[in-house]
Structure 1
Amino acid sequence: MSAFTYEIHDRNTEEFRRLLSMSAKKSAGNFEQAFFRAIEDHAREIAAISEAREAPSFTNTIRALEASGASLSEVSRAFAVLAGTSTTPELQALERKIYPVLSRHFSAISLDPKLFGRVEAVAKNVNEMAEASPQARRLTARMYKRMMRAGAMLDKADRDRLADIEARLSELFTAFAQNILADENAWFLELGDDDLAGLPAWLVSSLQNAGAERDKAGAVLTLSRSLIVPFLQMSERADLRSVAFEAWTRRGENVGPSDNRPIMAEILKLRTLKARLLGFETYAAFKLEDQMAKSPDQVRDLLMRVWKPARARAAADAAILQSIAENEGVNRPLAPADWRYYAEKRRRAELDFDETALKPYFSLDRMIAAAFDVANRLFGLTFEPVSNLPIWNDDVRAWRVLRADGTLQGFFLGDYFARSGKRSGAWMSVLRPQHKMGEGQTPVVYNVCNFSKPHAGEPALLSLTDATTLFHEFGHALHGLLSDVDFPSLSGTSVSRDFVELPSQLFEHWLTVPEILDRHATHIETGEPMPRELVAKLLAARTLDAGFDTVEYTASAIVDLDLHENAGDNPNPLEIERESLRNLGMPEAIVMRHRTPHFAHVFSGEGYSAGYYSYLWSEVLDSDAFEAFGEAGDPFHVETAERLLRHVYSAGDSEDADALYRSFRGREPDPAALMRKRGFSHRAA
């Protein structure tokens, strides 16, 4: 980290330090005390609003509710940082204890009939709403609908039953996520010298570093995606690839205390009960009613339109890979553990492209600089490092984010390396959302990734997939950082789930813009930019395995939808998964991207449940949105970037997502843009 240090004078920076101190220093015991104090404070605030004698108004009801619970939100966000990135048995025990308490607390608020009556009165006050600002009307409508969807209109017996369901679900979500982490932490494979055949030096170094972290003398393979995916691509040992792939795909499905099979069955059963209480036939119907897609049929239509050409492409690719394997003397059908290995051989044969040749050009530091450069060119942001901060791990980096006029936009943090006790995957979240209520506040946003950490003194080198992940999560971060709304509930990424991936997936496109590659994809030793011929191979290789990529993702999205449409009263999730894949004609050599027992998107919370399709729905939008820059003839076209900022990155949930997109693009999105991006069709001449 740079030695640059800010003098702490302004209120925002002092607040930033205080928030970091909360996430960095609190023990489980201190967090527990802070949680219960904050819950009591919030309950008193809610009681004052609910029992108020004054006639309900936007100010004394809606705005008051929006301002309530500030300390509880702060404690929850600080705790989430540690629980996700630096967990301990004590923190996991507190998760299991506190999340059901929080569920009961928020259910009591959502199901309070007096409070709902006041919210409803404001929402239906035609005169007051006519005089309110557009964002005040939006906030009121959203709050009213959220309470209705939470069960506020049910009778007392059903409200109590729903609160019981929500509390139990919170317990199950925590257990599901902790079980995945337990399986990932427990499994490792020690590798001798004979086991490293085919592995490039950078991967061997990362495996040795993983061994050192586990106090092993040699190389160790773990279930970190940044290790296991390149191992599956490059290891010449089919037996080891098979062992590793089996462990990777069976997370959460092992007999013992980390078995997620009974947990996901109970989750599905409770979700079905919840949906029926709220008047919906299935949980999928309930969940999608409030999204852009609106219905399971709309989602299934999109998924199947993509599935058919993707499966056909994958079948043709499988035949090519089978032929490569047979030419090497492999006399058996292509197995899922083989696909990445022979796909890598195909890339080298057809395109003369070795993905390991990219690694020296994709150092972590240069890719961070590239993402910052794109944000500067599009939105005028600059990022200045801040040091000497109380941060939860020494590897975390922090930046102060400034607008073009030098004023403060917010703060950004990056936690990039895998380590024990850290949840797998990559994500963006906030320690503090932007809003303009009262004195207002600037956002504090962070990204978490799980890249392989190099040996001390060595640069961190990323794969193309890793670099894309960095850009993806930074796109989410910009959605939070650039937010410019009045109320925290409308801030940043608080949008419908099938719109939230637009800013992140769209930002990925700029990684391979030639200007960005020329400036930032420079060789770690020579400083020379990536050769043009290597850039051309990179671009050609992006769609070479598009059938595989699309099949493994779309199968997961369809299974997710089937799980939440077909669960019934006594669900058998693995049987639903098998039946769904049989009906699809899933290629035998491909496994869904997230098998059900470790499908954290779906079973560790409500966010992507019946909503994993969102990435594809948003990809229609991001493909079409980036074509707007192509039509303008400039990937950094000023007017297009200004529209993008105004109607997407800064708009939060200030309007319906489809209206925001139309305001940016000037029309509805073109679904064919998705097929062009994935290489399944081409723009007409």
Structure 2
Amino acid sequence: MADNPFLSRSTLPAALPPFAVIRDEHYEPAFEAGMLEQREAVDRIVADPAPPSFANTLEALERSAPVLDRVAAAFFTVASAHATAPVRDLEERIAPRLAAHADAIRLNGALFARIDAVWHDREALDPEQRRLVERTRIELQLAGAALDDAAKAELTTLNERLSALSTRFDAALVADTNELAVHVLEERELAGLAADTVSAARRAARARGLEGWLLTLVLPTGQPVLADLEHVGLRERVMAASRARGTRGGEHDTREIVLETVRLRARRARLLGFRDHAGLVAADETAGSSEAVSALLDRLVPAAVRNARREQAELGDDVTAADWARLAEQRRRREFDVDLAALRPWFEAERVLRDGVFATAERLYGVRFAERTDLVGYHPDVRVFAVADEDGPLGLYLLDLYTRDEKRGGAWMNSLVDRASLLGEAQAVVINNLNVPKPDAGTPTLLTLDSVETLFHEFGHALHGLFAAVRYPKLAGTNVPRDFVEFPSQVNEMWVLHPDVLPGYARHVETGEPLPADVAERLRATAAYGQGFATTEYLAATMLDQAWHRLRVEEADAVTDVVAFEADALAAAGVDLPAVPPRYASTYFAHVFAGGYSAAYYAYIWSEVLDADTVAWFEEHGGLTRENGERFRRAVLGRGNAEDPLEAYRAFRGGDASIEHLLRRRGLA
């Protein structure tokens, strides 16, 4: 332990974890030391003979786990983005131990009694202190702090097992996704793909010691190559591979994990006094209840499905899921004279990052970015940028752009350090992960429009983490309700095609010429194109998530066939369109079975109500201006969870969000 880098605060800028010296063998001892440190700190809190106060209870609890916080932030970043065999092995072993450790604190009756006493005297506290004690008390209540000892013991067992299942699901999905990558030996089958996509496929094959080309899979059902591949048989192979994940038997089959997870979640919800897991989750979200979630989804589903059926008729009623993207893209080209694949040379990754993502943030919020090549991440692909504004440093932004076999699918943001003045952390460290295929050396990285939107989206999360400056760690950064956390990221997508932004970064990779103005206008005109499909595939996954997690204990125990349940659930929800499969099927629904979105995948469209309303506000007030950006930053992005997020939004907007803007955007009005 003498040289363990997690035992003390990093001396690097913004307390960036010292990845250059961190070794796999450092993690487990640091986890053990960190858990011991926090247990001893909690013991001191509950043994304190002084009457419970905010300082000796809430603040002491916030200070209780510096080592554990440091090692967990670094380890789970690596476990998601560069999960080597030793990291995977430790993740599987440490997850249930961490769950048991968390339960020992959350279910500590003496600790809850002290927090409850402070809560009863909360009117004497300042607003942020009141917010902290209220949030802590609610979380402990929902975690089971008021249960009797027998129920607490059962709950701890359930949580340990659920933690282990989540880790197993993630590991199995990553492995099966890698195995199901489509190996191509005949170059003619790749007709239609751009040269850099073919280059990336060749590089992926070489990395595994294979001849030919390898089409790796992204997390959603729909694969990007399907829009361009001309070879019918290869399109069918790609779609079949995507949908087969987790269903092929053997060690990477996820169906039994899904069933056990659903059963245990239902049992835990009942133990905590809720009808089902969905009700338990909604109770601590801005939605407040499953009924509120249903009210929104029931309003959206019929209109979305009508639009999807209309689009299907336009493409041909016999269109298949494997063909939809290609036919839809061909129709887009005919009707709007826009070829998305042909636009990729205008979306070179470095220019998109610097002249699009960074430049927009500078115009809106006055922030500047400077690459720090002297600072390193956990992998050579990770880049580090210092972020500052006119008042000084804000922290570090890390970008890990490329796909790897050791990285889970999708795109995400997470924080390594939050700005919490109680702990002396004045700067944040945030990271964005994407899964862009890496071309051969010397070949520029050209993004699809979808990847450009994803980068802007994830950077919205990063800004939220960089700007949120509060006193207490629990309220810091993006630690807001799940159905609010997607709001800042979705707002940041508004700038992708904005007339003041697009010309800055959409320049041809070879000539530097800007995207022609008439093409840009036609591109904006296509914004609502295909929304029937896009909204329906998303809502299908959302309804599937709700169906699994609205099962009571007896109902969950009765389900034995994942595929059959899924088919029945989609039919019951009215979203069973064979040509429009769910964005994620149960067996590869990582958001729900390996992430934090169980019963909360609705959060994206719930947040989009706020997002669309905010876009309308920016349009009403002059768009991309420093004044508008400052108002949004101070009122929303900079607040973290130091006040109720919806109250912060109302203060920014002057009232509640209107759903009409979302309905118009999605063609659902």
TM-score (norm 1): 0.93
Aligned partners of 2:468 and 2:477 also within 8 Å: yes
Distance change in 2, residues 1:309/1:24 (3 Å): farther
Query: Alpha-carbon deviations, 1:37-59, whole Å to 9, x = none?
Result: 11111111111111111111000
Mapped to 2, the partners of 1:575 and 1:291 lie a distance apart of: 30
User: Does structure 1 residue 602 correspond to structure 2 residue 592?
Assistant: yes
Give the counterpart of 1:404 among 370, 390, 394: 390
Deviation at 1:188, TM superposition (A): 2.5
Secondary structure at the residue paired with 1:392?
coil
Give the counterpart of 2:109 among 82, 107, 113: 113
Give the counterpart of 1:592 among 563, 571, 582: 582
Aligned to 1:531: 516
Give the counterpart of 1:204 among 182, 185, 198: 198
Mapped to 1, the partners of 2:267 and 2:221 lie a distance apart of: 40
Aligned partner of 1:580: which letter? A
Distance change in 2, residues 1:645/1:585 (3 Å): closer
Distance change in 2, residues 1:450/1:252 (3 Å): same
Give the counterpart of 2:300 among 296, 303, 306: 306
Secondary structure at the residue paired with 1:395?
coil
Aligned partner of 1:96: which letter? E
Comparing 351-360 and 172-181, the one that deviates more: 351-360
User: Does structure 1 residue 292 correspond to structure 2 residue 283?
Assistant: no
Aligned to 1:61: 57
Mapped to 2, the partners of 1:139 and 1:109 lie a distance apart of: 17
Secondary structure at the residue paired with 1:650?
helix
Matches within 5 A, 1:442-481: 442-481=427-466
Identity %: 37
Aligned to 1:561: 546
Deviation at 1:209, TM superposition (A): 2.0
Aligned partner of 1:621: which letter? L
Aligned partner of 1:106: which letter? A
Aligned to 1:624: 613
Secondary structure at the residue paired with 1:447?
strand
Mapped to 2, the partners of 1:237 and 1:562 lie a distance apart of: 36
Aligned partners of 1:513 and 1:635 also within 8 Å: no
Mapped to 2, the partners of 1:535 and 1:411 lie a distance apart of: 33
Aligned partner of 1:49: which letter? I
Aligned partners of 1:221 and 1:227 also within 8 Å: no
Deviation at 1:122, TM superposition (A): 0.8
Secondary structure at the residue paired with 2:112?
helix
Deviation at 1:576, TM superposition (A): 3.1
Aligned partner of 1:590: which letter? V
User: Does structure 1 residue 137 correspond to structure 2 residue 130?
Assistant: yes
Aligned partners of 1:16 and 1:444 also within 8 Å: no
Mapped to 2, the partners of 1:417 and 1:559 lie a distance apart of: 30
Aligned to 1:249: 243
Deviation at 1:549, TM superposition (A): 0.3
Distance change in 2, residues 1:585/1:80 (3 Å): closer
Mapped to 1, the partners of 2:514 and 2:52 lie a distance apart of: 63
Mapped to 2, the partners of 1:534 and 1:588 lie a distance apart of: 34
Aligned to 1:214: 208
Give the counterpart of 1:506 among 491, 500, 511: 491
Secondary structure at the residue paired with 1:437?
helix
Aligned partner of 2:330: which letter? K
Aligned to 2:229: 235
Aligned partners of 2:300 and 2:668 also within 8 Å: no
Query: Alpha-carbon deviations, 1:64-100, whole Å to 9, x = none?
Result: 0011101101001110121111111211111111111
Q: Where in structure 1 are there 5+ consecutive unaligned residues?
A: 1-10, 324-332
Aligned to 1:644: 632
Mapped to 2, the partners of 1:193 and 1:439 lie a distance apart of: 57
RMSD, aligned CA: 1.8
Aligned partners of 1:409 and 1:481 also within 8 Å: yes
Distance change in 2, residues 1:103/1:292 (3 Å): same
Aligned to 2:4: none
TM-score (norm 2): 0.95
Secondary structure at the residue paired with 1:431?
strand
Aligned partner of 1:431: which letter? L
Aligned partner of 1:391: which letter? G
Mapped to 1, the partners of 2:73 and 2:170 lie a distance apart of: 17
Mapped to 2, the partners of 1:396 and 1:245 lie a distance apart of: 31
Give the counterpart of 2:374 among 388, 408, 420: 388
Aligned partners of 2:415 and 2:428 also within 8 Å: yes
Secondary structure at the residue paired with 2:26?
helix
Structure 1 segments of 4+ aligned residues over 6 angstroms from their partners: none
Distance change in 2, residues 1:12/1:382 (3 Å): farther
Aligned partners of 1:235 and 1:341 also within 8 Å: yes
Aligned to 2:177: 184
Comparing 584-593 and 193-202, the one that deviates more: 193-202
Query: Alpha-carbon deviations, 1:566-618, whole Å to 9, x = none?
Result: 2533134433321121121422211000000111111113x211000000000
Query: Alpha-carbon deviations, 1:526-583, whole Å to 9, x = none?
Result: 1111101211221122221110000000111111111111253313443332112112
